[in-house]
Structures are given as structure tokens and as C-alpha cells.
Structure 1
Amino acid sequence: MELQNHLFNTIAQVISNARQTAYRNVNSIMLRMYWEIGRLIVEDEQQGSYKAQYGKASLKNLAGQLGLEFGKGFDERNLNNMRAYYRSFPIWNAVRTELSWTHYRLISRVEEEQQRLQYMLLCIDNQWDTRTLQRNIQTQYLNRTLAPTSTHPAPPQFIKDPYIFEFLNLPSDTRHTEGSIESALINHLREFLMEMGKGFAFVARQQHIVTDTADFYIDLVFYNYYLKCFVLVDLKTGKLGHADIGQMDMYVRMYNDLKKQEDDNPTIGIILCTEKDETIVKYSVLAENEYLFASKYRLYLPKEEELVQLIEQDRIKFELDHEED
């Protein structure tokens, strides 16, 4: 029986490997075909053969001809997608064939070239499916970090403002407690880790810290293996106050003393609140401690204009606070 199981497992692995190889090959060929079609359409535009009238009508006629010959996969909408795909990735060698055509259709809608490349790499590094990619583009994942990315990881690159927790699906007509939000985040841990960003691993909820004089409970503890440090998260359902900042400062110092290992970097503390008083932020330890952060969070996806405004306000505020650094 053991020999039979071994034979089955070996054959199953051969079949699985062959199917994966076939899928990769087919996917690569399809991506190249769509890229070539997009290239031909764009080059035809540039050569001016339809200079005056080239546009929807011409593409519609082309789609009609291709549809009769090859089926509905080459309708006007798909041809537009191929055109956008080529314009987004005009160099074939820049295309990573690990991703699907749907990934590239979504990425091609991103306006900035650098962000398109970043989303492509994030999809590969983090194995984002197309639903995750779509959600991250919609919530402006890259724009919500406090500082531009660089070659050297630093805490601000890993902190967002605001955080978007629409995936919790909490009823909008209910007042939620910190405990209920925390429980919902744990129940949606995969989505929560994705929203936290790259390199986060969950460590504990309500971690109990004992000192000589008191007991303390930290809401959420993570470890970021890029920053090589612990990240403490404290949830607040109201406006940020002095006591919240002082508490997190104490937690971070305590964690550095009691939990941090010699090869770990200093612990980061993030206070998540629904509102921030910028005066309190400016004149508190947050202004001088590079390892303490306060970020807003939203339980529901804001309208695009509101989200853009929130991001821009916090980016300007962060740059003003750090312009002398």
C-alpha cells in the first residue's frame, strides 16, 4: 500500500508540474499576442494611416472584422485594453509573465508609469490575485504611505494614512467599540495584513505585558521582516489625545526593554484613530519620535475625491513636519 501511495504521489506531482508549465507557457504566449496587437494598433495610429479619422469608428470596424474571423475575444473593448497594455508597457522585456492578462488590464489603468511598475512587482512579490490588486488600486494603496519609497527601508514607507478597513463590512448605522473593530480585524486577518502593507506578520492580540508594578495589554502586535522590528498597533474610536500618545510611547519603550531581541530594530508604535488633532500631534512626543505614528482609519471606502483629499492633506503635513530632517 505504501509503494502504491508513493507511485500515486509521484505521478500526481508530474501531472501537476506539467499543467503548471502548460499554463505558464499559454499565459506567456497570450500576453505576447495581446502586446503585439496593441503595438500594431498604436504604430498604425502613429504612422497616420487613419490620422484624421482614427478612433472609435476605425477600432470598431477592426473589432468587427476580427470578431468574424476569431470570435468575441477581440471586440472593441478588448482591443482598447490591448492598446492601453502596450502603451503602458512599450518594452516587452518589462512584462512579467507570472501575471495574468486581467492583472495587466487593471495595471494599465494606472496613470503614473512608476506606479504601474510598482503594482506589477507588488503583485508578484505578494502573490496578489486580481481582486486584491483591484482593491488596492481603488484605495490608492501606493499613495497612502507617508513617505516615497527608496532603496533603504525606513518606518515612514510602511505607514499609511489613512488605513481603509472597508473589508470588515461593519454596519454603518452602528457605533462600534474598539473591541468590536479589533475582533473584526482579527476575523479578516488576511485582508488586514494586506492593508498593513509589505512584510507584516501577525504576532498577538491583547498581548499581556507584566512589569513590577502593573499589567498592560497591547491591542495588536505585528513583526515586519523588512524593517526587522515589532510593530504595535493601538485602536481608538475617537479623536487622538495626549493620553493615547503617552500610552503608546510607554508601550514602545516597554517592548524595547522586555521583548525586543538584540538583532531587532527599535519597535514602532502606530495609533489608529478616527480623528487627529494636529496641534496635539505637533506638540507631543509624536513630533520628535521617529518610531511613533498616528494615522486615521476609515471603516468604509471614502469617495475617490475624499480619499485623494485625505491623502494629499496628510502628505503635505508629513513633508512640512520633516522638511528640516
Structure 2
Amino acid sequence: MKQVDKTYKKLIEDIGVTLQEKRENAAIAVNRELVAANWEIGRHIVEFEQHGKEKAEYGSSLLTNLSKDLKLAYGKGFGKSNLYLCRQFYLQYPIFQTVSGKLSWSHYAELLTVSDDLSRAFYEKQTIAENWGAREMKRQINASLFERLALSKDKEQVLALSEKGQLIEEASDIIKDPYIFEFLGLPEEQLVKERQLETKLIDNLQQFLLELGKGFSFVARQYKITVDNQHFYIDLVFYHRILKCFVLIDLKTQKVKHQDIGQMNLYLNYFKEEENTEGDREPIGIIIAKDKHEFLVKYATGGLSSKIFVSKYQLYLPDQKQLENKVKQILGDD
């Protein structure tokens, strides 16, 4: 009887796995058809315009009338804003073969809100590479990920970032400045203690990992090390799967001091000697602070063999227009 029960239970599980797999495949197929349909709708609208009938800018009578008549003929789903997005979709991707089957219409609807071609290309490639959902991609767009990464690069590197996405080959490739922690929901004016900030980040680990970027795996918080009978606690320890190294993070809710950099150097040297195993590369240290003095960081890290980076954090989304202007300066666009 028990054997029959196990066999029956296995039958239920097998049917469940099959249903789940087929439902996921069906959802992917429906999404592909939706993307294709919206591209075709956009093509029809643009071709109508090209015959000199009427310009379908947002707010035009063409889109207003088209929305009303399509709703009467085919039901919901033909709002004026959606028709405008379809038109923009075709204009941005006039060759359908360049449209990725890995992205949903929700992805493309969000990408079309990004006016800069370089920035949009980056988010498209990065979304595919990191398998972001539409919500995750929107968060990265709002947090100006492309601009924050671009600020530490020259013109050629910015263009490569747009064409290929973020390539992680060395320690500096994983660093952001600033890090954006708006997902914590903490008011900017609120005084936050370091342990409180650490706890909030761990409570929102999925969002924190998204902000850190591709390749980070969480290891521990308050990682205890002992040197000469003195105990030290590293706020957060991660392992980077691509760079094959530990990443140690120290959180500071005030301006970073030179002693903080010296302490991180101690942590990194300890990890090199005591924690690294065969195949591990040199560990990386990141001090994420409320504020920093560039010259202090430069002089305190100068000459150190350890890979130490100091970045600021913000509890609010950055001024996107300001960051865009800085990137344009790098590119030499007036």
C-alpha cells in the first residue's frame, strides 16, 4: 500500500512539473506574439504616416481616433498611450530581427522611455545578461546605473559599455559610486547607525544584491576575525563568482576616515593569509560611506597593495539629468 502511495504521489508531482513547464512555455510564446503584434501595429501606423495622411505624435487626432475605433472593433488594449508606444517601438527597432525574444513587452515599454540611445542599448543588453524582470530593469533605469558606471570611464569605455553591457574583468569593474539605497525607505534627514543600516540591507538582501551587481553571493554579516587575541568584525562578506574572490564591505554612516582604510587593509591581508583557498584571487575591500574626501582617500590608499575602494551611498535616487550631462561631457557632446 505504501508503495502504491509513493507511486501515486510521484504521478501527481510529474503532472505538476509538466503543467508548470508548459505554462511557462505558453507564457513565453504569448509574450513573443505580443511583442511581434505591437511591432506590426507600430509599422502600420508609421507606414500610414509616410503616405502623408497624418503625423501620429502623441496627442494627435490620428492616435485619438485610432484608439477609439480600435476599441470599438476589437475591445480593450488600444489606449492612445499604448498605440504611441507601438509607434515608438517600430521607430526604434525598424528591423524586427534586432528585437530580443528574451524581453517582454513590459521591458520594451520601459526601455522606450529612455531617450538616450547609448543608455537604452546598455539597459537592453544588461537586462538580457542578468535576466532582470521588468521591475528590476525599471529600478536600475531610475537609479541611473548606466550613468553611474560611465562616470568612472573614458569615451571609448563608455561606448563599449553601451555596446556590450557591463563586462566584469577586474576589481574596478564591480565598483559603483555612489551606491543607491532608496529601496530601504529611510528618510535622507534621518540619522542612521551603522548596525541599523547593515540590518536594513540584509533585510532587503535581494534588492541589495541587485544594486551590487552581477556575480555577488552573500557569505556572512559581522564576520569575526581574531588577530593577536583582538577580535574584529567585518560588516558584510560576499564572494564574487566571476572574479573568484572575497569582497569585504565596511559600512560607515559618517565621512570615511583614514583609520577606516587602514582597518580594511588589515581585513584584506588577513583574508589573503587565512581565508583564501586554492583558486581564490586577491580579496577586494569596499568601504561604503555617507561621505568621503577625495584627497584623503587618494593619499590613504596610495601605495597599498590591497584592492581598496571607497564609495558614497545615497538614500534617494540621483538627479538623472545632472548625471546625463556629466556623461555627455565625457563623450564630448555639447
Common topology (TM > 0.5): yes
Q: Report the residue type matching 2:191 in the other structure.
A: R
Question: 2 CA distance for matches of 1:54 and 1:79?
Answer: 9
Q: Tell me if structure 2 keeps the 8 A contact 1:199–1:225.
A: yes
Aligned to 1:50: 53
Provide closer, same or farther for how the CA distance between residues 74 and 54 of structure 1 changes in structure 2, counting only shifts above 3 A: closer
Provide closer, same or farther for how the CA distance between residues 83 and 292 of structure 1 changes in structure 2, counting only shifts above 3 A: same
Q: Report the residue type matching 2:53 in the other structure.
A: Y
More displaced stretch, 299-308 vs 104-113: 299-308
Aligned to 2:96: 92
Q: C-alpha root-mean-square deviation of aligned residues, in Å?
A: 2.6
What 5-or-longer segments of structure 2 have no aligned partner? none
Question: 1 CA distance for matches of 2:88 and 2:181?
Answer: 31
Provide closer, same or farther for how the CA distance between residues 238 and 306 of structure 1 changes in structure 2, counting only shifts above 3 A: farther
Partner SS for 1:67: helix
Corresponding residue to 1:69 among 65, 69, 73: 73
Give the Å deviation of 1:241: 1.5
Aligned to 1:168: 184
> In the alignment, does 2:174 pair up with 1:158?
yes
- Map 1:227-238 to 2 at 5 A: 227-238=243-254
Partner SS for 1:104: helix
Matched pairs, number: 313
Partner SS for 1:237: strand
Aligned to 2:116: 112
Give the Å deviation of 1:286: 5.0
- Map 1:1-325 to 2 at 5 A: 1-45=5-49, 47-50=50-53, 54-55=56-57, 56-145=60-149, 146-147=152-153, 148=157, 149=161, 153-286=169-302, 291-305=307-321
Partner SS for 1:99: coil
Give the Å deviation of 1:158: 1.1
Q: Percent identity?
A: 40
TM-score (norm 2): 0.84
TM-score (norm 1): 0.87
More displaced stretch, 246-255 vs 186-195: 246-255
Partner SS for 1:283: helix
Q: Report the residue type matching 2:145 in the other structure.
A: Y
Aligned to 1:322: none
Deviation string 1:4-34 (CA, Å, 9 cap, x unpaired) is 1111112222222222222121111111010
Give the Å deviation of 1:75: 1.9
Q: Report the residue type matching 1:4 in the other structure.
A: Y
Give the Å deviation of 1:302: 4.0
Partner SS for 2:77: helix
Provide closer, same or farther for how the CA distance between residues 38 and 93 of structure 1 changes in structure 2, counting only shifts above 3 A: same
Q: Tell me if structure 2 keeps the 8 A contact 1:88–1:113.
A: no
Q: Report the residue type matching 1:66 in the other structure.
A: L
Deviation string 1:34-66 (CA, Å, 9 cap, x unpaired) is 011112223433x35136x55322222222222
Deviation string 1:189-209 (CA, Å, 9 cap, x unpaired) is 111111111111111111111
Question: 1 CA distance for matches of 2:194 and 2:168?
Answer: 34
Q: Report the residue type matching 1:217 in the other structure.
A: Y
More displaced stretch, 135-144 vs 177-186: 135-144
Partner SS for 1:111: coil
Q: Tell me if structure 1 keeps the 8 A contact 2:251–2:287.
A: yes
Give the Å deviation of 1:213: 4.5
Q: Tell me if structure 2 keeps the 8 A contact 1:281–1:287.
A: no
Q: Tell me if structure 1 keeps the 8 A contact 2:168–2:242.
A: no
Question: 2 CA distance for matches of 1:113 and 1:307?
Answer: 15
